[in-house]
């Protein structure tokens, strides 16, 4: 909102635009579009693509529309899997794959090295893959 006010202040012509509300809405829309494009830039993606790529090998993909019930079952299976993990491993898994925290940030949170955190995450993904395969999910 403050950016819109500043944009109006900096760009308003000497005569009052008619209608003023349309002028202000256009400035707000342009600011929102610019912010959207800035947030969607490749460098500002937040690392979600990397996180999803890591999980892609462990969780089945290619679900059809008809598999909504299967998705709920899969969610339940992952929840049960998380209950089998130690508190530290569960923390790492959720922070990495739900909050998309960087490995170096997780290392700082846990006091471990980034390499150790990375190895632990790999082992957790492998456990998840084996657990899902044992329960009949395609991996």
Please give the residue range of the domain that contains residue 75. Answer: 48-134
Q: Are residues 88 and 126 in the same domain?
A: yes
Q: What pLDDT is attached to residue 63?
A: 53
**Interacting residues of 120 by C-beta distance below 8 A, sequence separation 6+:** 89, 92, 112
64 sits in which H/E element: none
CB atoms within 10 A of CB 44: 9
The answer to whether residue 139 is domain-embedded is no
Q: What pLDDT is attached to residue 44?
A: 59
Q: Are residues 58 and 81 in the same domain?
A: yes
Q: What pLDDT is attached to residue 11?
A: 78
Q: What pLDDT is attached to residue 20?
A: 75
Q: Are residues 95 and 31 in the same domain?
A: no
pLDDT, averaged per 10 consecutive residues of the chain (139 residues), comes to: 79 74 82 79 64 72 63 86 94 90 93 95 95 86
Q: What pLDDT is attached to residue 67?
A: 62
How many angstroms separate the first and last alpha carbons of the chain? Answer: 47
Q: What pLDDT is attached to residue 84?
A: 94
pTM passes above 0.75: no
- Per DSSP, helices labelled H in the chain are 2-11, 20-39, 48-56, 68-84, 87-97, 103-110, 114-134
CATH number of domain containing 100: 1.10.10.10
The tally of domains found in the chain comes to 2
Q: Are residues 35 and 59 in the same domain?
A: no
Burial group, residue 31, by CB count within 10 angstroms (0-12, 13-18, 19+): middle
The answer to whether residue 120 is domain-embedded is yes
Task: Count Cα atoms within 13 angstroms, Cβ side, for 128.
Answer: 28
């Amino acid at each position: 909102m403050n950016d819109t006010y500043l944009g109006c202040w900096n760009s308003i012509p000497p005569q009052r635009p008619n209608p003023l509300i349309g002028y202000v809405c256009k400035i707000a829309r342009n600011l929102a579009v610019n912010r959207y494009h800035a947030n969607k830039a490749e460098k500002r993606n937040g690392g979600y693509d990397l996180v999803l790529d890591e999980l892609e090998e462990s969780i089945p993909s290619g679900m059809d529309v008809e598999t909504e019930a299967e998705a709920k079952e899969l969610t339940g299976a992952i929840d049960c899997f998380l209950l089998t993990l130690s508190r530290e491993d569960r923390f790492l898994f959720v922070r990495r794959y739900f909050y998309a925290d960087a490995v170096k940030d997780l290392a700082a949170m846990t006091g471990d090295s980034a390499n150790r955190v990375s190895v632990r995450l790999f082992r957790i993904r492998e456990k998840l893959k084996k657990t899902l395969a044992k329960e009949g999910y395609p991996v």
